[in-house]
Amino acid sequence: MSYMDILKTAPQVLTPGTSACQGCGGELILRRVMQIAGANSVFAVPPGCMAGAGAVGWSDTNGCTAPMHIPLLDNTASFMSGVSEMYQRRGRGDVNIVAIAGDGASADCGFQSLSGAAERGARMLYVCYDNEGYMNTGFQRSSTTSRGSSTSTTPSGAAINGKEQGAKYVPLILAMHNIEYCATASPSHMPDFVAKVKHGLEASKRGFAYIHVFSPCPTGWGFKPSESIAVARRAVASNMFPLWECERGRWYMSENRSPITMAQFVEGIGKFSRLDAAALEELQEAASARYELIRRLCAK
Amino acid sequence: MGHVTPMGGPGMYVLDTASWRVVRPVMDKNRCVNCGQCLAYCPVGSIYAEGRQILISYDYCKGCGICAAECPKRAITMVPEVE
């Protein structure tokens, strides 16, 4: 079954009407992950854009046709560890246990529980949609925000020119937990994305699976909603967000030997609009160094 | 037109996002080759397949324009909504 057949025929699990912004990359990721996992799943979406958009419903309503939980911002992975354990004890190992969280709930507040669940090898798929900030509460910086990004807590101006620190590279940290499956994916590369989610769901029956997904945010980053997928594609093409996967110590990456320049990547993205040549060079160096590190890990 | 995503019955949270739309995607079926790229990248899941045909539902479409931007044949144009 090709990826297109899955997208065409698999029933939607998420409610059709969510209040995610126009052109939201996170909604596309959430919708596709839930569609691929199917209704025989238990989902958890912690506070963040997707929970606020209605994935968890409001009051006594549900935002999808499958069981959906809203854990706290910092305990998604530990919460789902318990859910996973109970389903296995009841002989329901066939149920997909899926957590879909933002970068704040994964890399910052929720990192302790995520790291703990990964180390224990809790059987679940954890998908992090990384929109590089706390977009739901007004575009504050997070630890995965890239250097030079203008956010509401690191505004570009006379004192500083955007975020002064580089981004924390979470997927590699998770891979170093020796988990069952770890991958990065982008919504702009849909065949690769679908294959990785399917692979992650299979791996989640044996241990902890983690997928880190680039999630373009038109409202927070300041670009046109119609350009979401194009921005994600440029992030991969510029090696800002390399695509790779690691399964029990076996590494594989989608190599990109002729990347576009960082200036081409940031074009039209509001949060990078005040970067000068020196700042772009810093971004370029960081991206190249990261790419080289991944390439060496993936070398046969 | 039927809903792309079946309603969950009572208890399903559904927002009328079609009311947000200021431009609507209109597909030129003479240029469309039914490749499904628009369906794959629509964040709202508003584009669906009926057999081999790819069609747009306006029940929840927010009018973001991703389908028009991603179409390799430029078969989708964003047309202003007129009251």
Nearest chain A residue (CA) to B11 = A61
**Rg of chain B's alpha carbons, rounded to an integer?**
13
Interface A:B, Cβ pairs < 8 A = 111
Q: Is residue B64 part of a domain?
A: yes
Q: How would you classify residue A20: left for phi > 0, otherwise alpha for psi between -120 and 50, otherwise beta?
A: beta
Residue B9 confidence (pLDDT): 52
What pLDDT, in 10s, does the model give residues B15-59? 999 999 999 999 999 999 999 999 999 999 999 999 999 999 999
| Alpha-carbon distances, residue A118 vs A79, A82, A109, A147, B21 (angstroms) | 13, 13, 16, 27, 42
A3-298 CATH pick, 3.40.50.970, 3.40.50.2300, 3.40.50.620, 3.40.50.360: 3.40.50.970
- Give the separation between CA A152 and CA A140, rounded to whole angstroms: 5
Helix (H) or strand (E) run with residue A6 in it: helix A3-9
Q: Is residue B9 part of a domain?
A: no
Structural domain count, chain B: 1
Q: How would you classify the pairing of strands B47-50 and A181-185?
A: unpaired
Q: What is the ipTM of this complex?
A: 0.92
Tell me which chain A residues have a C-beta less than 8 angstroms from the C-beta of B14.
15-17
Tell me which chain A residues have a C-beta less than 8 angstroms from the C-beta of B63.
22
Which residues span the domain enclosing B66? Answer: 31-80
- Note whether B64 contacts A: Cβ–Cβ < 8 A: yes
CATH number, position B73:
3.30.70.20
B 5-24 → A contacts, CB under 8 A: 5-6, 8, 11-17, 20
- Note whether B3 contacts A: Cβ–Cβ < 8 A: yes
Nearest chain B residue (CA) to A56 = B13
**Rg of chain A's alpha carbons, rounded to an integer?**
18
What pLDDT, in 10s, does the model give residues A257-293? 999 999 999 999 999 999 999 999 999 999 999 999 9
**Mutation site for B-interface testing, chosen from A59, A62, A229 by largest number of B Cβ within 10 Å:** A229
Instruction: Give residue limits of the domains in chain A.
Output: 3-298
Residue A116 has pLDDT above 90, yes or no: yes
